[in-house]
Structure 1
Amino acid sequence: MKTCLRHLAKLSALMSAFALASPATATNGYFSNGYGGQSKGMAGAGVAVPTGVLGMAQNPATGVKLGNQAGFCLTTFAPNRDVEIAPGGPLTPGTHKSQNDVFFIPCGGANWKLDDRSSLGAFVFGNGGMNTEFDTNFFAGLGAGSAPVGVNLEQAFITLNYARKVNDRLTLGVSPILAVQRFKAQGLQAFSALSISPSDVTNRGHDWSTGFGVNLGLLYEANPEWTFGAAYRNEIQMSKFSRYKGLFADGEFDVPAMLTLGAAYTPAAAPHWTLTGEYQRIFYGNVKPIANSSAPPGGPLGATNGVGFGWQDVDVWRLAAIWQKSDKLTLRTGVSYSTEFIKNDGNVVINTIAPGTPQWHLSAGGTYEINDRWAFTFAYTHAFSNSFSGSNPALTGVAQPVKIRMHQHEVATGISYRW
C-alpha cells in the first residue's frame, strides 16, 4: 500500500502540472460539467450512481462501490469563443475570435478497499478554468492596451477520499481537497486607471494560489430499485493573487461552493437500464470577484466592492440513462441545462475576456470491458452555441452593443484497472 501511495503521489503531481496547463473541460460557468469519462457520457451526472475513480469527485460516498480500482483519463477539449462588437464606440468593432482552441486535460487516481465497509482513494482532476487570447485588443480604445488581450485561469484539485458504509443502506464519504490555481491576465492596461493598485492589474505573468476544502457525500440505497445521492463541497478560501491584487476584489479568487442532489432508478423489470436525474447549484454569487457587478462600476478594481464579472448562482439540471447492453459493453447518454449566470446585460462587456456562455450539453459514451481487469471508457459532449448581448455605457462612455458567444466539443477517454 505504501508503495502504491508513493507512486500515486508522483503521478498526482505530474497530472496536476498538466491539468494546470489547460482550462476546464465542458463547462457550467467555469466549472467542469462532470469528472471522468463515465460521468461525462451522462452530461456530468454521477452523484447517485458510481462512475469510477473520478466519480468520487462528485460524491465521495461512491468509493465503497468501486473496490480496488485505478483509472486514468484524458479529455480533448475544443471551445470556440468569439466576441462581436458593433461600431459606434471606443471598443474595436468587428468579430474577434479567441485563439488556443484545443486543450488536453488529464485526470486519474486509485481507490483501495480497506474492508467490506470502507475504502480509501486518492485522485487529481481539473475543477475548472477559463482561457482566452484575442489577437486584437478591443479595449485599447478605452485608453491603452497591448495585444494580445485575455486571461488564463486554471484550477486543479488534489484529493483524498474516505468512504464508509454505515449500514446496509447508507454510505457516507469525505474528501479533503488541496486546491491549486494559477492566473494570468494580459492586455488589460485600459483598466489600470480604475484600480487601487494600477501596476498589479495586467501583464504580471502567472501567479499561484492555494487553499484547502472538503467535499462531503452520502449514498442511500432505499431499495433495489431506488438510490439517492447528495454531495456538498464548501467554498474554498484561496490565498491571494499578489501579482493581481489590483484586478480582483481584495486580491482573492475563492472557489465557489457546490451542492448536488440526485436519484437513480433501476427498474426490477429491466435491470439492465438505469435512469438518473440531478440538481446542482454552484454558488458563484458568494465570491466577490465573480459576483460583483460591472454595471455600473462600483468601487475601484481591487477593492472589496470593485468591479467583477457580475455572475449569479447557477442551477444545473441533468437527466441521463445507462444501458448495460452486454457483459462487455455499457452505454450512456445524458442532457444537462444550466441557468444564465450573468446577472444583467450590463455585465456582458467585462465578460468578453471570459465568455463561458453555454447552457445546454448533450453527451453520449460507454465502457467496454476488455477483460476481467481492464476496461476502456469513451464519451463525447457537445455544448450548444449560446450568446449573451449587452452594453455598459458607464464603462465605455456610450451604449456600444457587444455580443459574446461560445460552443464546445469534448472527447473524454479513460482506462481503468481492477484488482
Structure 2
Amino acid sequence: MNNKSLVCAASCLPLAVLCNYAAATDVLRMEGFGPVSRAMGGTAMSYDVGNAGMMSNPATLSLQSAGSHFSIGADVVTTDIKTRNQDTGETANSHDKSNNRGPYYAPELSYSYRADRWAVGIGAFAQGGLGTEYGKDSFLSNGVSGAPTGLDNSSRLLVLNIPLAFSFDINDQLTVGASVDAMWMGMNINMMFGANQVGSLIGSGRSTGSLVPVIGSLPALDGAHIGFSKDQPLASGADAWGIGGRIGLLWKATETTHVGVAYNFKSQMADLKGNATVTAVDRIAGQIPINGKIEVRDFQMPASLSIGVSHAITDRWLVTADVSRVFWRDAMKDIKVNFVDSQGQDLNLQFPQTYRDQTIGALGTSYRIGNWTLRAGYRQGTKAAQGSQLFATLPVTPTKHITTGFSYQVSASSRVDFAYDHALQETTYNSVLPNTAVPIKNTHSQDNFVLGYTYDF
C-alpha cells in the first residue's frame, strides 16, 4: 500500500470509531491520552508522547522530530459493573443492551508540524465520559414498593476536545506551550427514583418548582423516572458546546532529564439542553409521562495542575513520573437539572455530589529493542466521590490502574502503538438518601485498549 492509500484509509477510521463512546476512569476523565502515555501509567508531562501531548502538556510537541506528524487511533473500553441490593441480594449488571453502549469507543485524530523553534498541532480527542446499561428489568427500575416499572436505567456521557496547540522554544533548555480547545459534551440519562428519594429531595429543598405539588398529590406515589436519551451513534439526549485549554512548560534540565508542568483550565461549557420525559409512577394511577425540555446546568470538567519528570537511564531505557492535582471540588458540587413541561410548569432538582479534589500519582517506563519499544506503568489516585453520593447509574469509582503496551516502527516514517490498561476492581457502598433508594454495593473494574498509527512526513 502506498503512502497516499495509507492516508486515505486512515481518514475513514474516525467515521467508524464515532459509533460509540468511552468510559473514563479518573472520575470522568481519561487516565491518559494516546497509546504512548496510556501504556506508561498516563504519564505525559516531560517526554515525547506524540500528538497526544496537546491534551496533556502542549510544550512536549517540541520533542517531536522536524516535519509533519499525522496520528489516528481509538480507545476501546470494556466495563464490568455490578450493583447489589444489600437488603434483598438482587444484583443489577451493566451490560451491552443497546446499540450504542458497551464496549465503548472513542476516537483520536490529530496532526502536528514541528519547525526549528516552534510546533503547532490540531486534533480531536475524547477527554472523558462514562457509561452504564442496566436495562429495564433490574431492581434499579423498581418503585420503592418493589413493583417493577419496565423503565430504563442507563447513562452515557462523552466529552470531546478539539485542541489547537502551539509550542515555542525560548532557548535550548526551556519550551512553553498552550492550547485552546473547542469542547462538545453529550449526555444520555435514564434514572428511576423511589418515592423515598423524591421525598428526601423535597424535604431537603433540593426539589422545587410548580410540578412538585402535582407529583406529590398522587394518591400512592411509588417513584419518578427521568429520561433523556437518544439511541443513536453520536446524538445525545442533551448536549452543549464550550471552550477549554491548557498551558505548559518543559525544562530540559540535562540532556537526559526533563521536567514538565501543565495547568488545565476548568471548562466553560454551556448548559446541556434537550428533550426529556418525567414519568410519575403511582401504584393506583399507574404511569403518568410528562414531556418537556431539560437543562443540565453548569456541568463542567475540572481544572488540574500536573508536574512530571523523565530520565533516560540509557539511550534505550526511559523512566517517568507524574503527580496531578485535579480540582473536582470547584467543578462538581451538585448535578443541577431543570425540567419545563409544555404548559410551562417546572421541576428543579439538585443532586448532591460534593466531590473532593483528587491527587493522582503515576509511574512509567519504556525500553527500546530494535524496532520495538516496550512500556509499562502504574497509576493511582485518591477518591473524589464519596460513597454516600454514589448513583448506581453514574459510577466513577476506579482509582488504580496497571498498564502496559508497545510501539513497533514499521518503517522510517510510520509506527504502530498499542496500550492495555486494567482498572483494578473498586467496591463502593451507599445507603444514604437521596442518591439511592435502597442500600447498595457497587463493584467496578474495566479493561481499556488503545491502538494508534502515526505517519511522519
TM interval, shorter chain, is 0.7 to 0.9
- CA drift of 1:395 comes to 6.1
- 2:143 aligns with 141
CA deviation map 1:32-90 (0-9, x unaligned): 010111111112111111111112211100112223211111222111111111126xx
Give the secondary structure class of the aligned counterpart of 2:49: coil
- 2:339 aligns with none
Instruction: After superposing the two structures, state which structure 1 stretch, 32-41 or 143-152, moved more.
Output: 143-152
- CA drift of 1:117 comes to 0.2
- CA drift of 1:110 comes to 0.8
Structure that is richer in helix per residue? 1
- CA drift of 1:202 comes to 2.2
Equivalent of 2:394 in 345, 354, 360: 354
- 2:425 aligns with 385
What is the letter of the counterpart of residue 398 of structure 2?
A: P
Contact 2:191 2:393 in 1 (8 A): no
Structure 2 CA distance, aligned partners of 1:257 and 1:192?
A: 32
What is the letter of the counterpart of residue 203 of structure 1?
A: G
- CA drift of 1:355 comes to 1.5
CA deviation map 1:193-212 (0-9, x unaligned): 74336699822331111111
- 1:241 aligns with 272
Structure 2 CA distance, aligned partners of 1:69 and 1:218?
A: 21
What is the letter of the counterpart of residue 368 of structure 1?
A: Y
Contact 2:19 2:105 in 1 (8 A): no
Correspondence 1:407 to 2:445: yes
Equivalent of 1:314 in 358, 364, 373: 358
Tell me: CA distance 1:16–1:232, structure 2 relative to 1, closer, same or farther (3 Å). Answer: farther
Tell me: CA distance 1:216–1:290, structure 2 relative to 1, closer, same or farther (3 Å). Answer: farther
Q: TM-score if structure 1 supplies the norm length?
A: 0.84
- CA drift of 1:104 comes to 2.2
Equivalent of 2:228 in 204, 217, 220: 204
- CA drift of 1:241 comes to 1.9
Correspondence 1:229 to 2:271: no
- 1:110 aligns with 111
Structure 1 CA distance, aligned partners of 2:295 and 2:389?
A: 16
- CA drift of 1:289 comes to 4.9
Tell me: CA distance 1:249–1:312, structure 2 relative to 1, closer, same or farther (3 Å). Answer: farther
What is the letter of the counterpart of residue 111 of structure 1?
A: S
- 1:266 aligns with 312
Tell me: CA distance 1:279–1:244, structure 2 relative to 1, closer, same or farther (3 Å). Answer: farther
- 2:23 aligns with 24
- CA drift of 1:342 comes to 1.9
Correspondence 1:337 to 2:380: yes
Give the secondary structure class of the aligned counterpart of 2:52: helix
Greater gyration radius? 2
Structure 2 CA distance, aligned partners of 1:125 and 1:231?
A: 18
Equivalent of 2:160 in 156, 159, 167: 156
Instruction: After superposing the two structures, state which structure 1 stretch, 357-366 or 249-258, moved more.
Output: 249-258
Q: TM-score if structure 2 supplies the norm length?
A: 0.77
Identity among equivalent positions (%) equals 22
Structure 2 CA distance, aligned partners of 1:356 and 1:80?
A: 13
- 1:278 aligns with 322
Tell me: CA distance 1:43–1:16, structure 2 relative to 1, closer, same or farther (3 Å). Answer: farther
Structure 2 CA distance, aligned partners of 1:251 and 1:17?
A: 31
Tell me: CA distance 1:254–1:176, structure 2 relative to 1, closer, same or farther (3 Å). Answer: same
- 1:165 aligns with 169
Contact 1:249 1:307 in 2 (8 A): no
What is the letter of the counterpart of residue 338 of structure 1?
A: G
Tell me: CA distance 1:276–1:316, structure 2 relative to 1, closer, same or farther (3 Å). Answer: same
- 2:455 aligns with 417
CA deviation map 1:160-187 (0-9, x unaligned): 1111011110111111001101111113
